[in-house]
Structure 1
Amino acid sequence: MKKILSLVLVSALGGALTLGAYKLFLEPKDKLVVTAASANPAFLPTSNVSNLASLNAAPDFTIAAENAVNAVVHVKNVSISKGQLTLQDLFSGTTTPRAQMGTGSGVIINTDGYIITNNHVINNSDELTVTLNNNKSYKAKIIGSDPKTDIALLKIDADEELPFVTFADSDQAKIGEWVLAVGNPFNLTSTVTAGIISAKARDLSGTSSQSFIQTDAAVNPGNSGGALVNSKGELIGINTAISSQTGSYIGYSFAVPSNIARRVIEDIMEYGNVQNGILGISGGALNSESAEKLGVNDTEGIYVDSVVEESGAEKAGIKRGDIIKEIDNIKVSKFADLTGHIGAKRVNDVVTLKISRNGSLKTVPVTLTRNETFVLPLVGQVKNAKKEDLKRFKANYGVKIIQLDKKYADYWKNNNVDEGAIIININGIKIYSVDDAQNALKNQSSYEPLRIELINSNGEKQHYNFR
């Protein structure tokens, strides 16, 4: 046994000596080897230092969330409707009014109890109740609303000084910037979600009339009218819509920029209505395809296709074929960029356009004017008529057709109705201005025909009924 043990030890010792001698005297020395970097190198941290640095750089939303949560309210809309007929109604020959309830959110904007929300949250309401984050509830009254921007202003008389959020300049918000959406989805009060700004000046209508901030912060039914705030807790938007095939959030939500919302409520508080200023041009965004069709070299900017007569654009010398590159030093790449910026302005405000004309850049100040045009369904664009327009057709009042709807243009021209004709009556209402035309359509029931009386190009009165 001792001999076997001695043999094992001797063998092990000999192996160790042999390996050591090889390593020391015979094995080639290591050399520094340099290889070319791959096209897609993978970088792996060698310690936790980089992880700790990124962790410290992560945004802290706690203060912003606390401030916003206390300034965002729950809005309950109760409307009375006839509802569906029941057997009892059929037998009695009467209908029983039924209360329907909708919910949304709102944002307190000052200590006096003014609250901003969406028009669709409070539309058709018979009773409005606002519940604060401390569970106190108050009756609210509507100060004013603007369906075009989907913004409404409410007022409550609270027995305490209310927390509120301050407005930020939404023009300064950046794509990729962190934001919080605060509201009451599914009646779950005081809910905060985080995301980034995915896009700006987003138009969902296809008519270039909207300019939303797009974000990937989760927003669901009930969030409408709630706050979109930056990492400082400042208001940069009013959450309004979601992109969804199911009715719930699946990726993107959209907010009215705070600059537009602020201008709307300030107009309502000061004037009782919204003072919309317009540039006075129509056109579209350029790209490679449209530039080729139009025969221009630019592929970025807004191509001016037409200029409204007597508008600020016409008075400033803007012409068909001009390409708008910037407005107030903000780059313009789509029509919603213009819409969004002008939406935050009023009548008589001055904006500065940088335009390209025949390859040369020039800067042009334009004074925004009151909107005197309106798109009348089935007819086209109409405008407030001047005295000479009315005198030509021996009319005492009316609005002038300045552009026929392309879809129905042949129909009108076959009936001697061309651009310049005067519309004098819509649905039995005398039309003195485009405001009258809008109101005549607003008060029209869905089952009523559209009735139009006009003076055609030959000076003849004609009546039309459309169903």
Structure 2
Amino acid sequence: MPAYSARRPLAVLLALAALVAVSPAHVARAAPGKGPDSVADVASRVMDAVVNISTAQTVSSQRGVPVPQLPPGSPFEDFFDEFFKRRQGDDDQNRSRRVSSLGSGFVITPDGLIVTNNHVIADADEIYANFNDGTKLKAELIGRDPKTDLALLKVTPAKPLTAVKFGNSDVLRVGDWVMAIGNPFGLGGTLTVGVVSARNRDINSGPYDNFIQTDAAINRGNSGGPLFNMEGEVVGINTAIISPSGGSIGIGFSVPANTAQPIIAQLEQFKEVRRGWIGVRIQPVTEDLAESLGIGKARGALVGVITENSPAARAGLKAGDVIVTFDGKDVKEVRDLTRVVADTMVDREVDVVVIRNGKEETLRLKVARMPEEDKPDTDQPKPTDAQKVQPKRLLGMDLSPMSEDLRKRFRIKTEITGAVITNVDRGTPADDKGLKAGQVIVQVGQEATTSPADVEKQLGELRKQGKKSALLLVSDGEGQQQFVTLPLN
């Protein structure tokens, strides 16, 4: 989770840090009623398990003086050439420099396993763990997972270390008291308290966002520090804040312990994360999509594309299926399916409940390992050019048969067939839904279409059935597909 990433859609800055104290007045406002009398007993048990993580990295210096552009034959040409050659030699000697950074972490085994954030140790040449008693030990990177911003380190202590255990983050409730120990601004071990403000937060930092939100302050240098419950169990790993300035405004986020534990276990065992994969591309089910699919209220994850020879394909999933349950867990939205599939053990067989044509069906599926890279496209024979005819005007769009000329013009892959959108009228529902020239309508009402005539016929059938909107499956030239609904009137 890189700091200040431009891909964050939040209007304010996401600064990477961890939990620190809020004033008593702030705590009272956030959680009316009396707080804990003291956390001293709990703190005394866990304080020595929290460490300061320091790193060192060699980077290239960007210093340099631009060479002035002189006309050929200038009397100053030789002088400046000699001067800047000497200056360049000096810069080469000082080209590299050492930079350091600070973060937090915590010991989970007496023999020296330490959890922290990936962004704390990313690109570091050297990593050290600094303990409360002044001990400084060099740490080895066991493994890391950028998608959840977690990393596992190992030190070799002379004697067993104080370690802490993970708790059950699923039982946390909004308003529960939590405690953090970290290293804000490099000040050293600091303990703070606050309450849980919200759960299951998505801050668009990655595909598996499921953060605990706390009203306690989080500041720089506390990244990777633990969030404790009042029993001294780690229920979160502090990771990010929302802030316009980089300092805390009382909105901080922690990776839940129940998300972190399987990741840490895999890093310890494999030195990498092996996530589950079923081979589908999914999209949210909106209210209008739910109506078109006949599933009642909006819920689940809508299957758009199924990867060839994937677990989903072998299990019989189809484009247009709505996955509502996976391995006994309800899928209320797309993020639920993304997380539960990723957390499922590779080669495990699970039941998948889908809604197809308005009815529930249960399919059996064997989860595979998520591929490291996208599979290469397979070559397929090119279709013959469609008969050249005038575009059909349907639903505020011009639709043309697929042709070799249109494939070249819009860079449409050979395996994609359907009716090509060549124009979208401004201000129409199609325009509002983001449809544009170069996309291809491949299904109407969950039936395959190969031409504008097919689209026209299928729209007519939907009108006869009394449908108010049409469900279209639309592909771009690269094969990325999505469902959209357009009104039929």
TM-score (norm 2): 0.61
| Counterpart Cα distance in 1 of 2:196 and 2:316 | 36
Deviation at 1:185, TM superposition (A): 1.3
Specify the code of the residue in structure 2 equivalent to 1:80: T
Alignment partner of 1:67 out of 25, 45, 48: 45
Q: How does 1:282-431 map to 2 (within 5 A)?
A: 282-292=281-291, 296-372=295-371, 374=373, 382-383=374-375, 389=378, 413-414=408-409, 418=413
- Residues 418 and 139 of structure 1: CA distance in aligned 2, closer, same or farther (over 3 Å): same
Give SS of 2:200's match.
strand
Contact kept? 2:380, 2:415, Cα under 8 Å: no
Instruction: Output the CA distance in 1 between the equivalents of 2:197 and 2:146.
Output: 25
What corresponds to 1:81 in structure 2? 59
> RMSD value over aligned CA atoms?
3.4
Distance 1:300 1:180 in 2: 35
Change (3 A) 1:75 1:314: same
Kept in 1, the 8 Å contact 2:194–2:216? The answer is yes
**Hey, what's the Cα distance between the residues in 1 that align with 2:407 and 2:195?**
49
Moved more, 187-196 or 137-146: 187-196
Task: Provide the secondary structure at the position in 2 that maps to 1:200.
Answer: strand
Letter in 1 for 2:45: N
**Percent identity for Structure 1 against Structure 2:** 36
Correspondences of 1:201-350 after superposition (within 5 Å): 201-205=200-204, 208-292=207-291, 296-350=295-349
**CA offset digits 1:314-335 (Å, max 9, x no partner):** 3333333333334455443332
Q: Which has the larger radius of gyration?
A: 1
CA distance in 2, matches of 1:332, 1:60: 40
1:322/1:356 contact within 8 Å kept:
yes
Q: State the alpha-carbon separation in 2 of the partners of residues 303 and 127 from structure 1.
A: 45
**Higher RCO (C-alpha 8 Å, min separation 6):** 2
Contact 1:211 1:337 in 2 (8 A): no
Assess if the C-alpha contact under 8 Å between 1:68 and 1:227 holds in 2.
no
Whole-Å separation in 2 of the counterparts to 1:104 and 1:77: 9
1:111 Cα deviation after fit: 0.7
Q: Across the two proteins, how many residue pairs are aligned to each other? A: 343
Structure 2 CA distance for aligned equivalents of residues 327 and 59 of structure 1: 43
Paired residues of 1:68 and 1:229 also in contact (CA < 8 A): no
Matched ranges for 1:422-461 at <5 A: none
Task: Find the counterpart in structure 1 of residue 111 from structure 2.
Answer: 112
Q: How far 1:100 sits from its partner (Å)?
A: 0.8
SS at 1:383 equivalent: coil
Shift of residue 172, structure 1, vs aligned partner: 4.0
**1:225 alignment partner AA:** G
- Unaligned stretches of 5+ in structure 2? 1-32, 66-85, 383-404, 417-476, 479-489
**Offset of residue 240 of structure 1:** 1.5
Q: How many Å separate the matches in 2 of 1:411 and 1:221? A: 53
Task: Report the residue type matching 2:367 in the other structure.
Answer: L
Using a 3 Å threshold, how does the CA distance of structure 1 residues 165 and 328 change in structure 2: closer, same or farther? farther
Q: Write the distance in 2 (CA, Å) between the matches of 1:89 and 1:67.
A: 57
- Report if aligned partners of 2:197, 2:214 keep a CA contact under 8 Å in 1: yes
The residue type paired with residue 266 of structure 1 is A
CA contact (8 A) 2:237 2:256 kept: yes
State the Cα deviation string for residues 281-328 of structure 1 (Å, max 9, x = none).
Answer: 322333435535666422233223333333333333333333333445
Q: CA deviation at 1:122?
A: 0.6
How much does 1:243 deviate? Answer: 1.4
Q: Can you list the C-alpha shifts for 1:326-359, whole angstroms capped at 9, x where unaligned?
A: 4455443332223333343332234554444444
